[in-house]
Amino acid sequence: MPRLKISENGPHPVDSHVGQKVKARRLMLGMSQDELAQAIGLTFQQVQKYERGTNRISVSRLTEIGAALKVPLDYFLDGTPRLLPGRKLAIKGSGKSAVVDPLQDRDVRDLVKSYMSIKKPALKKQLLKMAKAISKGGQRG
């Protein structure tokens, strides 16, 4: 079976998805591309290509990246688009429909970082309760 692509010039949707997950996790940790590259013995340009989906990441390299980013291997595959012949999948910024990952949104990453920095469990619980109440109220109209 031939390799599925959005176009002959673009990256495979799975490569883009995995690259987006690498970038989201790296940013969540406040790590630069250069810091990740040093942790896995590459250049920041190679990390850049991985994050864009331009270059495929081997399983062994993805395992190293996971260790550096403190996540299991399956983190990167979570939400991987199911590929069916003829199905159009989106790549962020390409004008085509994209795989939506909330961690690609800077505000979501900032919110999660802020939440994780709260030391008191009771305050975390109050914030979560407030966010749920606000989200329910926002759906009314």
* pLDDT tens digits for range 13-51: 888 889 999 999 999 898 999 999 999 999 999 999 999
In the chain, alpha helices (H): 13-28, 33-40, 44-52, 59-69, 74-77, 106-117, 121-138
* pLDDT tens digits for range 102-122: 766 778 888 888 888 899 999
Name the class of domain 1-102: mainly alpha
Q: Quick one: pLDDT at residue 78?
A: 81
d(CA 104, CA 130): 23
- DSSP tally for the chain: helices H, then strands E: 7, 0
The one-letter amino acid code at 35 reads E
* pLDDT tens digits for range 91-106: 444 444 444 567 667 7
Query: Which residues, at least 6 apart from 54, have a Cβ–Cβ distance to it below 8 Å?
Result: 11, 15
Residues of the chain with CATH 1.10.260.40: 1-102
pLDDT band at residue 82 using 50, 70 and 90 as cut-offs: low
d(CA 76, CA 63): 10
